[in-house]
């Protein structure tokens, strides 16, 4: 069972992580809005990451297309023209952003749950995301992500619970950890 506090916490953590990870320059503006269905989701592909503990598994799916507006968005990070961003560089950029999103999400969840693992990004065809209901998750949320006024991404979060989940997340109590979800070496 996932409490209302935990549901709100998972959602707030993901929204915050999406905003940080999908902006490429400091003056970018990112808006993340909850939506009820995925019918209107754009994107030909989805990048999937999983955060898991003993009591839950969270799958984060970020829908994207390798179209010119999305390429332009990511090429700005590297200071190049969108036409100069080859396919591998584009995939690397979307995976890096997804990894930063899930890394930040995972780090904040670690304040409430010990022993959390994070997968590497996996790219799937968009139609694979249509089977998310097969996971029989206790919580599924969908979001529209707008960056600088352009509807570039959509996202879904699926939380599978294996025990009672209850935590109270307050955005004003974010950890002071440095970084945005980069790899950490021990």
Give the pLDDT score at 137.
94
Give the pLDDT score at 186.
47
Q: CA 145 → CA 29, 121, 148, 186, distances in Å?
A: 11, 19, 10, 34
Give the pLDDT score at 116.
93
Which pTM was predicted?
A: 0.88
Query: Please, what are the averages of pLDDT over each run of 10 residues along the chain (186 residues)?
Result: 95 95 91 89 91 95 93 88 89 93 92 92 92 92 94 94 92 54 51
Domains and CATH numbers, the chain: 4-164 (3.40.1550.10)
Q: CA 86 → CA 64, 66, 98, 122, 173, distances in Å?
A: 16, 10, 18, 19, 40
Query: Which residues make beta-bridge pairs with 139?
Result: 159
Cα(51)–Cα(105) distance, rounded to whole angstroms?
9
């Amino acid at each position: 069972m996932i409490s209302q506090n935990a549901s709100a916490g998972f959602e707030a953590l993901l929204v915050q992580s999406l905003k940080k990870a999908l902006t490429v320059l400091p003056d970018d503006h990112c808006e993340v809005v909850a939506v009820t269905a995925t019918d209107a989701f754009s994107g030909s592909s989805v990048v999937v990451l999983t955060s898991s503990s003993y009591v839950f598994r969270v799958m984060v799916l970020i829908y994207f297309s390798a179209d010119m507006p999305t390429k332009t968005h990511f090429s700005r990070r590297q200071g190049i023209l969108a036409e100069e961003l080859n396919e591998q560089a584009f995939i690397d950029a979307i995976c890096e952003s997804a990894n930063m999103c899930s890394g930040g999400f995972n780090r904040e969840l670690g304040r409430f749950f010990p022993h959390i693992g994070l997968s590497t990004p996996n790219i799937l065809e968009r139609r694979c995301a249509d089977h998310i209901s097969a996971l029989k998750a206790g919580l599924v949320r969908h979001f529209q992500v707008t960056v600088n006024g352009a509807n570039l991404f959509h996202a879904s979060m699926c939380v599978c619970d294996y025990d009672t989940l209850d935590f109270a997340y307050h955005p004003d109590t974010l950890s002071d950890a440095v970084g945005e979800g980069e790899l950490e070496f021990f």
